[in-house]
Amino acid sequence: MTDRAVPDLDAQRAHDAERSAAQVAPPGAAASPVTPANTRVIWLLLAATFVVFLNETIMGVAVPHLVDDLGITVTAAQWLTTAFLLTMAVVIPITGFLLQRFPTRPVFITAMTLFSLGTLLAALAPGFEVLLAARVVQASGTAIMMPLLMTTLMTVVPPGDRGRFMGRVSIVMSVAPAIGPTISGLILSLASWRFMFWLVLPIAVVMLVVGIRKVETVNSPRRLPIDVVSVVLSAFGFGGLVYGLSQLGGEGGADADAVPAAVTWIAFAVGATGVAAFIWRQLVLQRRDRALLDLRTFRSRNFSISVGLMILLMASLFGTIIVLPYYLQRVLLLDPLETGLILLPGGLLMGLLGPLVGRLYDRVGPTPLLVPASVVLSGVLWAFTMLGESTSVWLVLLAHLIMSAALAFMFTPLFTSALGSVEPRFYSHGSAIIGTVQQVAGATGTALFIAVMAGQQAAASATGTAEIAAQAQGIRGAFLVGAILSLVAIVGALFIRRPADLVEGAPAPH
**Which residues of the chain fall short of a pLDDT of 70?**
1-33, 57, 60-61, 74-75, 178, 219, 248-260, 336, 500-510
The number of CA neighbours under 13 Å toward the Cβ of 107 is 29
C-alpha closest to that of 321 among 466, 105, 478:
478
pLDDT digits (tens, 9 = 90+) for 386-414: 998 889 999 999 999 999 899 889 988 88
Q: What is each CA distance from 433 to 281, 320, 333, 419, in whole angstroms?
A: 16, 23, 40, 10
Is the distance from CB of 467 to CB of 389 less than 8 angstroms?
no
Q: Is 320 exposed, middle or buried (0-12, 13-18, 19+ CB in 10 A)?
A: buried
d(CA 489, CA 497): 15
Q: What is the pLDDT of residues 287-338, one digit of tens each?
A: 888 888 889 999 889 999 999 998 888 888 878 877 888 888 788 888 767 7
Q: Residue 493: its pLDDT value, please?
A: 92
| Among the listed residues 57, 60, 89, 52, the one whose alpha carbon sits nearest the alpha carbon of residue 77 | 60
Fold topology of 299-510: Growth Hormone; Chain: A; (1.20.1250)
Report the C-alpha gap between 315 and 361 in whole angstroms.
24
Q: Do domains 36-223 and 299-510 have the same CATH topology?
A: yes
pLDDT value of position 258:
52
Mind spelling out the 3-state secondary structure of 424-460? HHHHHHHHHHHHHHHHHHHHHHHHHHHHHHHHHHHHH
Class at the top of the CATH hierarchy for domain 36-223 = mainly alpha
Give the C-alpha separation, 129 to 301, whole Å: 45
Give the contacts of 424 (CB within 8 A, at least 6 positions apart): 26, 27, 28, 29, 154, 155
pLDDT at 93: 85
pLDDT confidence of residue 278 = 92
Q: Where are the domains of the chain?
A: 36-223, 227-291, 299-510
Whole-angstrom Cα distance, residue 300 to residue 426?
11
Asked if 251 contacts 82 with a C-beta cutoff of 8 angstroms, the reply is yes
Separation CA 422–CA 420 (nearest Å)? 6
The pLDDT of residue 243: 81
Burial readout 253-286 (b: 16 or more C-beta within 10 A, e: otherwise): bbeeebbeeeebeebbebbeebbebbeebbeebb
Q: Looking at residue 133, what is its pLDDT?
A: 93
Which DSSP category does 506 fall into? P
At 192-201, the pLDDT tens digits run 888 889 988 9
Amino acid, res. 189: S
Q: How far is CA 245 from CA 82, 251, 292, 365, in A?
A: 11, 9, 24, 35
- Position 39 scores a pLDDT of 81
